[in-house]
């Protein structure tokens, strides 16, 4: 009922606005519509000459490889980016790291609205499958970046702008097929501008895949609906979009070296032993989740100097993951012991579901003033989140005193945030400009109830963060530009951190020094960064019982690096887009438990932070309508823990993909047909991009002594595989 009322509200609003407006005889200029669309993300984006390190991707670039893989894989060839996938082939649960920071530390916004989960701080693209097909452009800011909404950016911030208003009516049908029974189908449409002012556009998508890993299947569905009103100085959008996902779990990875070598697709999730001692797999060990977003966006330009942006958001998410568990203790589920045939029974096989039901509300308002000297933006943001966590047993071999829909644990988390900011770029003269950015974040996080480990979690924490940023840009001439920036950021712990007893927020000072060069055939960006952390929460390498990464405080730590990316036109029809990131990432005087004692290990490598990450896109236009792309990615060796143990090391890997795009136009009945193909890992490399590492103290093998035992698990990635597709545009 709640969702129906919200949908009705948006529909009513769109129809009301439509009825009240008078059509103008002159069509809107497409550049004016585009600029109004871009105001949606102006407050969280930066310009090309800003002293903020960043990369941009537009719809045209995204379309070349948009064949079903998630957004992290669309970003794979940007500087300092590393991607990985549980299922091994980029469909389902996928992840991104930037400068060694995991996805929970990459701030993501959709049209300026935070997408990171408020409690876990993660971004789950599986909940928005095929969202790439509804992205107009995106910007990845590395480091602290500019002020944004939501949790602070500790590795990067990624902001996405959804589809712009289209002047012309169009329709698209896209289908793709590939390895592991992967296929994607979607339809898109736009009415174009009706009566010069109104547009209705939408998309429906479905993606299915068996996954590279055994049983790591994905069944994904999504939708996107946009109603828009456009006038010369006004843009109002009502958006409804969301997704449904059902994925067979594959978060365990592989610890068995023999299986890793000879049966690398083996999936231990869902494994159990039947009464005859035979290994079986539960057929419904799935993650099942739905997420719906409702956004109302209003941009108003008053004159050539003043404009405003107001937006409202409501997000609802609800779902569970299901598990078959053997020999579970009655006590864990509040079951009473039972007696059968004189025997006392206090364990049982069972199937459980662990639920999350959450609501997220947000309001955002910005004002912009711009003239020849200054570009100023100020704004405020407020959000409120509430999430219920609970578990149910849906079947048990011995159900004892339980009743259907009994909850064996139940808890709630609430988080509110208020943010104010002001930022400005002041052009001192034709060569020198100054950038300043001040932000205040004020948070409250409150929890009640018990966790899935049946432990009480009672948190009531308030945080007040002041995050200043400043920078200078110096234009030496038309070809050379230099910049320097400083940014400070704070970040609150996540729910998992609180469960581990961590309450101290993280602090980061980020220094960036860069040079940009542009000529007729060459564009070059290079920068040096130094990120100095206090109480950084680094990945410990360990996972909890549902595959989520755990973190530990590293005290003092830093990241020092050099990033270079370029675009070089080698020939008229041949260009290369290389990048490389060289870095050192260290915990300072890291303390760890070894053989029963706390030991200062000195400076150690930060987990999951390779010192070399490089990529290249070589694009050759054979004929006007045929483009070939040869894509390469190198990721250096990295540790999965913070103690520099050889047992925690992931080997380096070098993979290459082939991308082919061919366009047919001037066809009867259709505008064009675009054929595309993507051959991933064409040299069939057996590589591993992710894993976990753990230690425990063993005091049983040798009585009187404590020995630290180390172990590791790995997530193998797909060998050579392909995707091919065709998009028919009307």
| pLDDT tens figures, 79-100 | 999 999 999 999 999 999 999 9
C-alpha span between 476 and 474 (Å, rounded)? 6
Give the least confident one: 11-15, 114-118, 716-720.
Answer: 11-15
The alpha carbon of residue 55 and the mean position of all alpha carbons in its chain are separated, in whole angstroms, by 16
Predicted confidence at residue 702, as pLDDT, reads 66
Predicted confidence at residue 28, as pLDDT, reads 41
Q: Is it the case that residue 7 has pLDDT exceeding 60?
A: no
Helix (H) or strand (E) holding 446, with range, is strand 432-449
Number of H helices and E strands in the chain, helices first, is 6, 42
Predicted confidence at residue 699, as pLDDT, reads 67
Most distant CA pair in the chain, distance? 92
Predicted confidence at residue 32, as pLDDT, reads 58
In the chain, what are the domain boundaries? 2-337+348-729
C-alpha Rg value of the chain to the nearest Å: 26
What would the pLDDT profile of 484-511 be if each residue is shown by its tens digit?
Answer: 999 999 999 999 999 999 999 999 999 9
Contacting residues for 54 by C-beta, under 8 A, at least 6 apart: 46, 139, 140, 141, 142, 145
8 Å CB contact between 161 and 138: yes
Predicted confidence at residue 418, as pLDDT, reads 97
Predicted confidence at residue 14, as pLDDT, reads 41
Angle at 249 between CA 327 and CA 391, to 5 degrees: 55
Q: Which of 255, 359, 268, 353 is nearest to 314 (CA)?
A: 359
Predicted confidence at residue 249, as pLDDT, reads 95
Give the least confident one: 14-28, 46-60, 448-462.
Answer: 14-28
Query: Any idea what DSSP says for residue 34?
Result: H
What would the pLDDT profile of 324-346 be if each residue is shown by its tens digit?
Answer: 999 999 999 999 999 998 899 99
What would the pLDDT profile of 637-667 be if each residue is shown by its tens digit?
Answer: 999 999 999 999 999 999 999 999 999 998 8
Q: Is it the case that residue 701 has pLDDT exceeding 80?
A: no
What would the pLDDT profile of 432-457 be if each residue is shown by its tens digit?
Answer: 999 999 999 999 999 999 999 999 99
Q: Is it the case that residue 25 has pLDDT exceeding 50?
A: no
Please give the structure tokens belonging to residue 156: 């990067």
pLDDT band at 24 (very low <50, low <70, confident <90, very high): very low
How large a percentage of the chain has pLDDT more than 70?
94
Domain 2-337+348-729 superfamily per CATH: TonB-dependent receptor, beta-barrel domain (2.40.170.20)
Alpha helical stretches, state H, 91-160: none
Average pLDDT of the segment spanning 358-363 = 98
For residue 18, give Cα distances in angstroms to 39, 224, 229, 302, 488.
22, 20, 7, 21, 45
pLDDT band at 697 (very low <50, low <70, confident <90, very high): confident
8 Å CB contact between 66 and 75: no
What would the pLDDT profile of 562-599 be if each residue is shown by its tens digit?
Answer: 999 999 999 999 999 999 999 999 999 999 988 888 89
Taking the model in full, what pTM does it have? 0.92
Give the count of beta carbons closer than 10 Å to the beta carbon of residue 590.
23
The mean of the pLDDT values for the chain is 92
């Amino acid at each position: 009922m709640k969702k129906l009322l919200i949908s009705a509200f948006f529909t009513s609003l769109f129809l009301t606005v439509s009825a009240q407006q008078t059509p103008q005889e002159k069509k809107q200029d497409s550049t004016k519509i585009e600029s109004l669309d871009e105001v949606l993300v102006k407050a969280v984006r930066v310009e090309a000459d800003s002293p903020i390190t960043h990369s941009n991707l537009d719809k045209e670039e995204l379309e070349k490889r948009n064949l079903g893989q998630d957004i992290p894989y669309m970003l794979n060839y940007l500087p300092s980016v590393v991607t990985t996938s549980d299922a091994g082939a980029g469909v389902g649960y996928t992840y991104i790291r930037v400068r060694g920071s995991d996805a929970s530390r990459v701030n993501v916004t959709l049209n300026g609205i935070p997408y990171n989960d408020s409690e876990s701080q993660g971004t789950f693209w599986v909940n928005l499958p095929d969202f790439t097909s509804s992205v107009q452009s995106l910007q990845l800011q590395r480091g602290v970046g500019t002020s944004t909404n939501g949790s602070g950016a500790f590795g990067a911030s990624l902001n996405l702008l959804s589809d712009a208003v289209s002047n012309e009516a169009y329709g698209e049908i896209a289908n793709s097929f590939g390895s592991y029974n992967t296929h994607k189908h979607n339809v898109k449409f736009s009415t174009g501008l009706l009566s010069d002012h109104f547009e209705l556009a939408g998309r429906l998508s479905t993606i299915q895949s068996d996954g590279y890993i055994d049983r790591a299947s994905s069944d994904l569905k999504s939708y996107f609906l946009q109603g828009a009103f456009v006038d010369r100085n006004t843009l109002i959008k009502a958006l409804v979009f969301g997704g449904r996902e059902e994925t067979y779990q594959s978060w365990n990875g592989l610890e068995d070296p023999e299986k890793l070598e000879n049966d690398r697709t083996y999936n231990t999730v869902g494994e159990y032993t039947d009464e005859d001692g035979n290994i079986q797999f539960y057929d419904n060990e799935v993650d099942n989740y739905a997420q719906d977003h409702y956004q109302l966006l209003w941009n108003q330009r008053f004159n050539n100097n003043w404009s405003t942006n107001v937006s409202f958001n409501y997000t609802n998410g609800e779902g569970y993951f299901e598990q078959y568990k053997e020999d579970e203790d009655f006590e864990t589920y509040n079951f009473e012991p039972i007696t059968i045939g004189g025997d006392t029974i206090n364990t049982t096989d069972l199937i459980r579901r662990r639920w999350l039901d959450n609501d997220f509300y947000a309001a955002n308002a910005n004002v912009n003033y711009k003239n020849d000297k200054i570009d100023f933006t100020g704004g405020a943001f407020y959000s409120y989140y509430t999430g219920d966590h609970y578990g149910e047993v849906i079947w048990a071999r011995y159900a004892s005193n339980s009743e259907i829909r009994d909850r064996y644990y139940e808890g709630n988390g609430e988080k509110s945030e208020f943010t104010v900011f002001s930022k400005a770029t002041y052009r001192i003269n034709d060569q020198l400009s100054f950038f300043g950015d001040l932000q205040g974040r004020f948070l409250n996080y409150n929890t009640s109830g018990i966790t899935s480990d049946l432990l009480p979690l009672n948190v009531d924490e308030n945080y007040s963060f002041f995050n200043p940023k400043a920078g200078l840009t110096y234009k030496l001439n038309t070809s050379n530009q230099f910049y320097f920036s400083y940014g400070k950021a704070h970040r609150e712990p996540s729910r998992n951190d609180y469960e581990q007893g961590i309450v101290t927020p993280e602090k980061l000072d980020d220094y960036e020094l860069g040079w940009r060069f542009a000529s007729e055939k060459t564009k070059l960006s290079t920068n040096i960064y130094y990120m100095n952390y206090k109480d950084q929460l680094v990945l410990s390498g360990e996972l909890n019982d549902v595959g989520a990464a755990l973190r530990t405080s590293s005290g003092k730590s830093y990241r020092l690096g050099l990033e270079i990316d370029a675009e070089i036109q080698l020939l008229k029809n041949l260009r290369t887009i290389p990048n490389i990131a060289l870095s050192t990432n260290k915990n300072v005087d890291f303390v760890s438990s070894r053989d029963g004692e706390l030991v200062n290990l000195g400076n150690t490598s930060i987990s999951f932070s390779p010192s070399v990450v490089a990529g290249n896109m070589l694009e050759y236009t054979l004929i006007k309508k045929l483009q070939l792309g040869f894509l390469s990615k190198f990721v250096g060796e990295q540790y999965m823990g913070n103690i520099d143990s050889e047992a925690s090391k992931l080997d380096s890997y070098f993979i290459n993909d082939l991308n082919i795009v061919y366009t047919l136009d001037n066809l009867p009945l259709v505008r064009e047909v675009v054929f595309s193909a993507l051959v991933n890992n064409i040299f069939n490399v057996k590589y591993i991009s992710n894993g976990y590492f753990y230690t425990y103290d063993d005091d049983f093998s040798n009585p009187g002594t404590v020995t630290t035992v180390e172990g590791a698990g790995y997530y193998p990635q797909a060998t050579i595989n392909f995707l091919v597709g065709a998009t028919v545009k009307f």
